[in-house]
């Protein structure tokens, strides 16, 4: 059998594989060199010499654990140092390979768990983002009749939020919670959402460098959302402001509210829930059938957005003439200046209304809704 030698220590090995293992794992010393270390480590069982105590320990554990019984019984001739060393390298290599496989399996498992955790985190993040987006765009999506959240549910949610933010006391919170359904069903708008006499106050302000200005009806109130209808009732609020202006016009006051303009005692404005009933009544009378289908034939006690078409249907049912204008984005005009045409139309409206109504000085506000 042909042997191969180490070029440094000149030890013989049966094949090139064992030689490569020797070169990789064993420290070689030239046997003719004066720097050859003192061989102080010998096997207590087979008297083999080793230069490293760790190698000796591996030799005893791996070799003699398997052959000690057989050696004591049959007393075979001792193996050569080269054969013992070759066996040691092979066993050490096997152990290293086994440990390497275990490490790789463990690392793969850890990577899999980590990857799963990352995927799970990403999934949770996506869910949270989708939930946030759904909450942010819920009102817009529900505009087309897809909402299942009722007026009372949204009001209760708003009430809980303002209580958590400490905007109201616990006593008020408990009071509103007990009277919530009653507050929603009220046909008259709550006074806390109304700001009256704003136009007269503006008319008294100095004009400064302004050459001219056009103001809408002095009786037009500003009506804002409260916790009861916050987040979805902007269309109703605009309608209420328009009605507050019509209240002070002799042409509409008696027809809509049942009393003369001179009656300043009753200045009530219909509530959101009452306006929902009015719009449904207009639908039942045949006004805006297409819009009715978009809302699934239901509006009362919902949180669905309304727009100009619903207002127009309601006023038409009340025998009030209305006009609806759509302002589309022009394709041949830059977006940055397109708004000027809308502003110019609004300016001309107030200017023309003032010229046509010099006697009674009544100019009603516009109902503008952005899509």
102 pLDDT higher than 80:
no
Spatial distance between the Cα atoms of 176 and 182, rounded to a whole number of angstroms: 9
Q: Which of 165-179, 231-245, 253-267 has the lowest average pLDDT?
A: 253-267
Over range 66-75, report the average pLDDT. 44
Domain boundaries, given as residue ranges, for the chain = 1-142, 186-356
Q: Looking up tokens 């727009």, which residue turns up? A: 307
Spatial distance between the Cα atoms of 109 and 127, rounded to a whole number of angstroms: 26
Spatial distance between the Cα atoms of 11 and 15, rounded to a whole number of angstroms: 12
Phi, psi angles (nearest 5°) of residue 91 = -65, -40
Phi, psi angles (nearest 5°) of residue 181 = -60, -40
DSSP one-letter string for 74-118: H-PPPPPHHHHHHHHHHHHHHHHHHHHHHHHHHHHHHHHHHHHHH
Burial track 128-160 (b if 16+ CB lie within 10 A, e otherwise): eeeeeeeeeebbeebbebebeeebbebbbebbe
Spatial distance between the Cα atoms of 47 and 29, rounded to a whole number of angstroms: 20
Q: Looking up tokens 């850890």, which residue turns up? A: 110
In this structure, are residues 249 and 261 in contact, taking their beta carbons and an 8 Å threshold? yes
User: pLDDT category, 235, cuts 50, 70, 90?
Assistant: very high
pLDDT score at 211: 77
127 pLDDT higher than 80:
no
Which residues are within 8 A (CB) of 77 and not within 5 positions of it... i.e. 6 or more apart?
none
DSSP one-letter string for 241-284: HHHHHHTT-HHHHHHHHSS-TT--S----B-HHHHHHHHHHHHH
CA separation (Å) from 329 to 153, 308, 326, 332, 370? 37, 18, 10, 9, 12
Which is more confident, 209 or 181? Answer: 181
- pTM for the predicted model, two decimal places: 0.58
* Tens digit of each residue's pLDDT (9 = 90 or more) over 186-234: 999 998 888 888 888 888 888 788 777 777 667 788 999 999 999 899 9
Q: Which of 32-46, 182-196, 229-243 has the lowest average pLDDT?
A: 32-46
């Amino acid at each position: 059998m042909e042997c191969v030698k180490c070029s440094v220590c000149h030890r013989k090995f049966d094949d090139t594989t064992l030689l490569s293992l020797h070169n990789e794992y064993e420290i070689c010393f030239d046997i003719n060199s004066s720097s050859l270390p003192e061989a102080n480590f010998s096997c207590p069982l087979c008297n083999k010499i080793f230069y490293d105590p760790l190698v000796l320990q591996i030799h005893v554990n791996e070799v003699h654990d398997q052959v000690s019984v057989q050696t004591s019984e049959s007393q075979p001739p001792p193996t050569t140092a080269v054969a013992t060393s070759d066996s040691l390298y092979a066993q050490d290599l096997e152990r290293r390979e086994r440990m390497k496989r275990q490490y790789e399996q463990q690392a793969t498992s850890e990577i899999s768990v980590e990857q799963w955790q990352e995927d799970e985190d990403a999934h949770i993040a996506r869910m949270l983002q989708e939930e946030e987006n759904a909450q942010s765009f819920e009102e817009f999506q529900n505009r087309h009749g897809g909402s299942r959240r009722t007026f009372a549910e949204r009001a209760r949610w708003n009430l809980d939020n303002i209580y958590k933010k400490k905007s109201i006391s616990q006593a008020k919170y408990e009071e509103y919670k007990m009277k919530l359904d009653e507050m929603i069903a009220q046909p008259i708008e709550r006074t806390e959402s109304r700001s009256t006499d704003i136009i007269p106050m503006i008319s008294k302000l100095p004009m400064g460098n302004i050459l001219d200005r056009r103001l809408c009806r002095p009786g037009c109130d500003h009506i804002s959302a409260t916790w009861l209808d916050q987040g979805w009732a902007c269309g109703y609020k605009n309608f209420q402001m328009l009605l507050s202006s019509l209240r002070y016009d002799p042409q509409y006051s008696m027809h809509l509210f049942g009393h003369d303009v001179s009656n300043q005692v009753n200045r009530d404005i219909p509530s959101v829930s009452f306006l929902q009933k009015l719009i449904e009544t207009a639908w039942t009378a045949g006004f805006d059938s297409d819009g009715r289908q978009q809302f699934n034939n239901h509006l009362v006690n919902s949180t669905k957005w309304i727009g100009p078409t619903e207002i127009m249907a309601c006023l038409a049912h009340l025998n009030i003439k209305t006009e609806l204008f759509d302002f589309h984005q022009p394709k041949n005009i830059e977006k940055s200046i397109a708004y000027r045409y809308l502003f110019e139309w609004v300016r001309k409206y107030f200017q023309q209304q003032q010229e046509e109504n010099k006697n009674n000085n009544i100019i009603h506000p516009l109902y503008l809704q952005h899509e």
